[in-house]
Amino acid sequence: MSKVLILTVGVGQNVDRSLTFAIEQHNPDFILFLCTPQSRGNAERVVQSRSLPSSVYAIDEFSETGDVQGLALHYEAVIRQVLFQERGFQPEQVYVDYTRGTKAMSAAVDYVAVNLELGGVSYIEGERDERGQVISGTERLLSFQPLELLFRRHWRTLVQLFNAGHFASVLNRIEDLQPRVVRPDHRRRLDFIAGLARACEAWDTLRYEAACQGFQRLIKEFRGLTQDLGLHGDLQRASDVVHGIWHSRCKKSDCNCGLPLDTRTALDLLANADRRAAEHRYDVAVALLYRLMEYIAQRRLHDLGIRTDDVRLERLPEDVRAKWEPRGDADGRLKVGMLQGYELLADLSDDLGRKFLELYWAVASPLRPYLESRNMSPLAHGFQPVGQDVFEKLRAVITDEFLGKLVPDWRNRLAVHRLPRLPEA
């Protein structure tokens, strides 16, 4: 990777010697000299002594001033223009040495290096003579990386994005930071929050197997860090939830429908819908409530030995079979959606099926308009936006009339399905 060196150039004796030492230590591919009209000659002597072609250096001349803010604004503009825009260098490729600049120049370029998160900042130290200048032969280059100083700020930003549920943004920022972070403990923190974001993103998109594997890996590989952050219990709770849902899938040889049978599945759909509503993504929230309504019917039918994607007519009571047989295919099988699922439950004398049909077909139905809003949303079959009112009313009827029949204590158990949160302090 190409390397750029920015040198502040002041006046005084042996300035060119210090500049040459910095160049030899950094061995850059391109040099930007920051000068004043009085110090430009020092930069030009270095260029001549090293026979630098014009393609590998640039000299910026700015009037001497004690205004640090003015200098900082000028230096940042020059760096962006000369290095980033004209030559395509990236911040991590750019290093600054401010050994031989004035105090104002050093303060200004130091601020810019931190603000732009440049690759590194260095200065020359050594034994000094009676004039305060470094004695030749005692020089040593000291340096630090602005990104490492700013890591806490980046961490706070990552935590805020994570707690807001913006997992893709977390991962994108980490991808940008990882190549530039050197300290092992900082890299480990980035690896941890990246793994946590992937696990929570998988949970949020109902990919329970991936979420389960992700949380278990975090608990195993980052135990010390999770304890330091006070997250170990929270991750274990999350792992237990997704593990229970994933491993509750139906595996009966005569069914094997893969339907999660743990009642936590229903609570998880509701908690997920609540999170989407909190983001004002009501179309997704209502789609999840619709899926919850469908899942409740699937579970009730499954308990009766019936798969909604493959209803075996021969397994139905004879009087019920007579009604449903015309709807089947040539092989005597049929699939039922949510509405037909509850209708079938009602025909099988299930109270929940009867309640659904009663509410759905009522003249002033508290259910049908909101389920139909989902069908007409952009996520289903139409382009009608879904708002907060639809979400709240559909959620109320589902939780009041249906969810309690499947999970009687759902209110007390819903909090278990919250996503882990990172401490923001």
The domains found in the chain, sorted by start residue, are: 4-149 (3.40.50.10770), 150-247 (1.10.3450), 257-425 (no CATH)
Rounded-to-integer distance, Cα 96 and Cα 121, Å: 5
Q: Given this model, what pLDDT does residue 377 score?
A: 85
Helix (H, G, I), strand (E, B) or coil at 337: coil
- Amino acid of residue 5: L
Q: Which value, to the nearest 10 degrees, does the dihedral of the CA atoms of residues 251, 253, 254, 259 take?
A: 10
Helix (H, G, I), strand (E, B) or coil at 99: strand
Q: Given this model, what pLDDT does residue 28 score?
A: 95
DSSP helix, strand, coil percent of the chain (3-state; round to 5): 60, 10, 30
Report residue 69: phi and psi, to 5°. Answer: -65, -45
Q: Given this model, what pLDDT does residue 352 score?
A: 95
Residue ranges for the chain with pLDDT beneath 70: 64, 124-144, 332, 425
Beta strands at 4-9 and 30-35: parallel, antiparallel or unpaired: parallel
Task: Spell out a b/e string for 361-393, using b for 16 or more CB atoms within 10 Å of the CB, else e.
Answer: eeeeeebeebbebbeebeebeeebebeeebbee
Helix (H, G, I), strand (E, B) or coil at 259: coil
Distances (CA, A) of 145 to 79, 113, 114: 17, 9, 8
pTM comes to: 0.78
Task: Show the tokens assigned to 225.
Answer: 């860090």
Q: Given this model, what pLDDT does residue 179 score?
A: 82
Q: Which value, to the nearest 10 degrees, does the dihedral of the CA atoms of residues 284, 287, 292, 293 take?
A: 150
Count of residues making up the chain: 425
Report residue 143: phi and psi, to 5°. Answer: -150, 165
Contact 347, 340 (CB under 8 A): no
Q: Given this model, what pLDDT does residue 61 score?
A: 93
Q: Where are the beta strands (DSSP E) in 69-156?
A: 94-100, 120-125, 140-144
Q: Given this model, what pLDDT does residue 387 score?
A: 92
Contact 297, 342 (CB under 8 A): yes
Q: Given this model, what pLDDT does residue 332 score?
A: 67
Which has the closest alpha carbon to 31: 62, 54, 58? 58
Name beta bridge partners: 140.
125
Distances (CA, A) of 238 to 18, 201, 245: 58, 12, 11
Q: Given this model, what pLDDT does residue 376 score?
A: 85
Helix (H, G, I), strand (E, B) or coil at 9: strand
Rounded-to-integer distance, Cα 145 and Cα 154, Å: 14
User: How far from chain centre, in Å, is Cα 209?
Assistant: 19
Report residue 225: phi and psi, to 5°. Answer: -70, -40
Residue corresponding to tokens 């006046």: 11
